[in-house]
């Protein structure tokens, strides 16, 4: 917390892109302008701060972008920003324009950078959780997660059609880095018979016996959704199943980057708009170094260092739902 008044703010997107980042940029720009602030766009995350790729934005700069995936400010990972020397150059570039507040839309790595930068140079930084992985504590949703899950759901539904037509067992790998949320949500929503996530120990024997049991019941169509961060990737699971159940017609589908792009869902546009609006309010009222989240449909502010350290936990309820509904 602090009470420094801001007059010129910068906004950037950093780390992996996520659908809804544009809606967040739009909200930051328009809320800032509404309050009489000057708003600057910073290109390619922290790289643009170091390379001085910074430009003034107006209301028209963000027209017609709310429905677009990706990010009009582009995004990047910057090795130079990891070092104090790089952050100092970035600070000089902000200072010469009088930029005295920042909104960072990105993941936990971006928040680590923001936290360091703010401590070193006394520029208040507000983080917005922009990541499809939902691997940040302090928000029920992260910008991009809902779109990514819906993309995965659409794809798995299609895969089930062909699995059903051929009596096949499909192993579908979804994104999420070391978090299993995309797998959990898309798996439950598509009625997947098994969901393998890094948050729980994958029990191969239990998986094989459930598949054999289903086979006995003449249930030959199976969808196994595997999170990319699970101990076994889709290919390894497939190899094991082919060895243990050679009679099963097993196929692998890795959904990959289609989960990152596309027009954001209504939910992602809404949360991005609310969070972008709240970020500017934070800078105006002197709240520093927090991540804006939404918990129980209320805006919620988590100190950046907590958003960095803590990961969301998957509750037992969710795991029970998976067990009972997939039987």
Binding site for ligand ATP (CB under 6 A): 14-16, 46, 77-78, 81-82, 106-110, 112-113, 116, 131, 133
Catalytic (active site) residue 133: yes
Residue 265: strand, helix, or coil: coil
Q: How far is the CB of 63 from ligand ATP (least distance, A)?
A: 26
Task: Kindly tell me which of 146 and 193 has the beta carbon lying closer to ligand ATP.
Answer: 146
The helix/strand count (H/E) of the chain reads as 11, 11
Choose, from 17, 133, 146, 230, the residue flagged as catalytic. Answer: 133
Nearer to ligand ATP by C-beta: 1 or 85?
Answer: 85
Q: For strand 8-13 and strand 101-106, is the pairing parallel, antiparallel, or unpaired?
A: parallel
H or E segment and range at residue 327:
none
Pick between residue 41 and residue 107 the one whose CB is nearest to ligand ATP.
107
Please, what is the minimum distance in Å from the beta carbon of residue 250 to ligand ATP? 31
Those residues with Cβ within 8 angstroms of residue 213's Cβ, 6 or more apart along the chain or in another chain = none
Residue from 308, 284, 280 nearest 114 by CA: 308
Residue among 80 and 157 whose Cβ is closer to ligand ATP: 80
> Smallest distance from the beta carbon of 72 to ligand ATP, in angstroms?
17
Residue whose CB is less far from ligand ATP, 114 or 234:
114
On whether the CB atoms of residues 44 and 53 are closer than 8 A, the answer is yes
Q: Distance between CA 137 and CA 310 in Å, rounded?
A: 5
Residue that has been written with the tokens 């209320």 in this structure: 298
Q: Least Å distance between CB 120 and ligand ATP?
A: 10
Cβ closer to ligand ATP: 133 or 173? 133
Least distance from ligand ATP to the Cβ atom of residue 123, Å: 14
How does DSSP assign 50-117, residue by residue? HHT-EEEE-GGGGTT-TT-SS-TT-----SGGGSHHHHHHHHHHHHHHT--EEEEEE-HHHHHHHHHH
| Whole-number Å distance between alpha carbons of 137 and 151 | 23
Cβ-based burial of 210 (10 A; exposed 0-12, middle 13-18, buried ≥19): middle
Taking the complex as a whole, the smallest distance from the CB of residue 143 to ligand ATP amounts, in Å, to: 11
Q: Are 325 and 191 in contact (CB under 8 A)?
A: yes
Q: Which residues are catalytic?
A: 133
């Amino acid at each position: 917390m602090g009470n420094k008044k801001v007059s010129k703010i910068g906004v950037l997107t950093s780390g992996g892109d996520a659908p809804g980042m544009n809606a967040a940029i739009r909200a930051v720009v328009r809320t800032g302008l509404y309050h009489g602030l000057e708003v600057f766009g910073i290109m390619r995350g922290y790289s643009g701060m170091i390379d001085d790729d910074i430009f003034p934005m107006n209301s028209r700069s963000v027209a017609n972008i709310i429905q677009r995936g990706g990010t009009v400010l582009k995004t990047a990972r910057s090795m130079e920003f990891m070092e104090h020397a790089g952050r100092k150059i970035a600070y000089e570039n902000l200072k010469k324009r009088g930029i005295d507040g920042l909104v960072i839309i990105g993941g936990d790595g971006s928040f680590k950078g923001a936290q360091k930068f703010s401590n070193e140079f006394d520029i208040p930084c507000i983080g917005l959780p922009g990541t499809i992985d939902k691997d940040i504590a302090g928000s029920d949703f992260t910008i991009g997660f809902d779109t990514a899950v819906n993309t995965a759901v659409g794809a798995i539904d299609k895969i089930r059609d062909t699995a059903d037509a051929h009596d096949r067992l499909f192993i579908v790998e979804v994104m999420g880095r070391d978090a299993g949320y995309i797998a959990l949500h898309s798996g439950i929503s598509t009625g997947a018979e098994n969901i393998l996530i890094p948050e729980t120990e994958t029990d191969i024997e239990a998986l094989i016996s459930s598949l054999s049991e289903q086979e006995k019941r003449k249930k030959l169509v199976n969808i196994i959704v595997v999170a990319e961060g699970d101990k076994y990737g889709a290919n390894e699971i497939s190899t094991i199943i082919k060895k243990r159940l050679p009679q099963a017609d097993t196929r692998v589908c890795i959904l990959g980057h289609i989960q990152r792009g596309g027009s954001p869902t209504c939910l992602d546009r809404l949360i991005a708009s609310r969070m972008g609006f709240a970020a500017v309010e934070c800078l105006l009222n002197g709240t520093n170094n927090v991540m804006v989240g939404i918990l129980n449909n209320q805006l919620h502010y988590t100190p950046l260092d907590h958003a960095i350290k803590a990961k969301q936990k998957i509750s037992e309820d969710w795991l029970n739902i998976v067990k009972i509904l997939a039987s």
